[in-house]
């Protein structure tokens, strides 16, 4: 199996928990800073050593998951090292937060590339392998678990680039699940909330520091891994195309866009009419959810 962005934070905990449950893990990470700059094989190598220390099997991969050839090499690493691929967890990401009016094109492009293209490219490479197996008469029982965010499905100020990428991943999850079931593949996503390098400046660092030492901390990134490991297992075969909120011991299903209040007439609308129509529709509609997915 593969976990991208597995050198630190949530991805690290995924890799460790998969290994504890007996999976053979390709630990992918560039070892970059939170903004995507720099690189180091150190963090991924440390995770591999941790896995080996508990008797597991793991290998480092430092490919850029947003690069098509890099994603293909990543998938080949799993197949050539462990004899196949059953699970792909797309977790790699960066942050370049800024208010929209001040955001540069590079800050937009970098975040969209790593998150959205960095989910697409490994998924495509893995699906080519599973499709070829299916066409060859072999049976797959394969899993893809993507990583969206409350910022993407609910919204957060200062994160138009990150949120747009994460919303795209949620849509990507739903649509790809429709397409790949025939190959024996399920696709789901999580929207996690936990304390990591990427969230410590968003208020979570202060909240985590308030938890007494030795007490269970709902913001710990290791709380996210159990759901991801389950979604990556054979046990989850009946679940696909869903997005799950997860934080601490809390798991919920995120319910996507639905049609709300409606007006209908059998002719074209005149713009002048809509001043008395649209505000009424909005007044009847449920408000957008907050960052916790709650209304009101």
Q: What is the pLDDT of residue 182?
A: 97
> What number of other Cβ atoms are within 10 A of residue 181's Cβ?
13
Cα gap 286→264, rounded to integer Å: 19
- What residues are annotated to the active site? 149, 162, 166
pLDDT band at 34; cut points 50, 70, 90? low
**Cβ atoms < 10 Å from Cβ of 253:** 11
Tens digits of per-residue pLDDT, 198-250? 555 555 545 555 666 777 789 899 999 999 999 999 999 999 999 999 999 99
Whole-number Å distance between alpha carbons of 157 and 100? 9
Q: Whole-angstrom distance between the N-terminal and C-terminal Cα of the chain?
A: 41
Q: How confident is the model at residue 295 (pLDDT cuts 50, 70, 90)?
A: confident
Report domain 2-254's class: alpha beta
Enumerate the domain spans of the chain. Answer: 2-254
Q: How far is CA 154 from CA 204, 255, 292, in A?
A: 18, 11, 8
Distances from the Cα of 150 to the Cα of 32, 100, 124, 167, 252, angstroms? 23, 18, 25, 9, 12
Per-residue pLDDT at 41: 66
The model carries a pTM of 0.91
Summary mean pLDDT of the chain: 92
What's the rounded Cα separation, in Å, for the pair 147 and 32? 18
Closest CA to 18 of 114, 81, 87, 82: 87
Quick: pLDDT tens for 60-101.
999 999 999 999 999 999 999 999 999 999 999 998 989 999
- The reported pLDDT for the residue numbered 112 is 97
Q: Which helix (H) or strand (E) holds 63?
A: none
Are 5 and 29 a contacting pair, CB within 8 Å? yes
- How many H-runs (helices) and E-runs (strands) does the chain carry? 10, 8
Between β-strands 2-3 and 25-28, what pairing exists: parallel, antiparallel or unpaired? parallel
């Amino acid at each position: 199996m593969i976990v991208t962005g597995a050198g630190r934070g949530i991805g690290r905990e995924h890799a460790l928990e998969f290994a504890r449950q007996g999976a053979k893990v390709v630990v992918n990470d560039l070892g970059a800073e939170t903004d995507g700059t720099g690189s180091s094989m150190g963090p991924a190598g440390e995770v591999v050593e941790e896995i080996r220390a508990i008797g597991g099997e793991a290998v480092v991969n430092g490919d850029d998951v947003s690069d098509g050839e890099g994603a293909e090499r990543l998938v080949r690493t799993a197949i050539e090292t462990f004899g196949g691929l059953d699970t792909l967890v797309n977790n790699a990401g960066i942050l370049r937060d800024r208010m929209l009016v001040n955001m540069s094109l590079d800050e937009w492009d970098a975040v969209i590339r790593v998150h959205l293209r960095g989910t697409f490219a490994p998924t495509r490479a893995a699906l080519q392998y599973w499709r070829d197996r299916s066409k060859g008469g072999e049976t797959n029982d394969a899993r893809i678990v993507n990583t969206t965010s409350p910022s993407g499905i609910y919204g957060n100020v200062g994160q138009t680039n990150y949120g747009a990428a994460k919303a795209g991943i949620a849509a990507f999850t739903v649509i790809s699940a429709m397409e790949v079931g025939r190959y024996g593949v399920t696709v789901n996503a999580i929207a996690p909330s936990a304390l990591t390098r990427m969230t410590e400046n968003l208020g979570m660092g202060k909240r985590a520091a308030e938890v007494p030492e030795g007490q269970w901390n709902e913001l710990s990134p290791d709380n996210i891994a159990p759901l991801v490991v389950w979604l990556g297992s054979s046990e989850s075969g009946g679940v696909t195309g869903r997005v799950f909120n997860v934080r601490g011991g809390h798991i919920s299903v995120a319910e996507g866009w639905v049609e709300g209040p409606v007006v209908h007439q059998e002719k074209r609308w005149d713009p002048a009419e809509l001043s008395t129509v649209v505000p009424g529709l909005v007044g009847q509609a449920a408000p957008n959810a907050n960052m916790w997915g709650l209304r009101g």
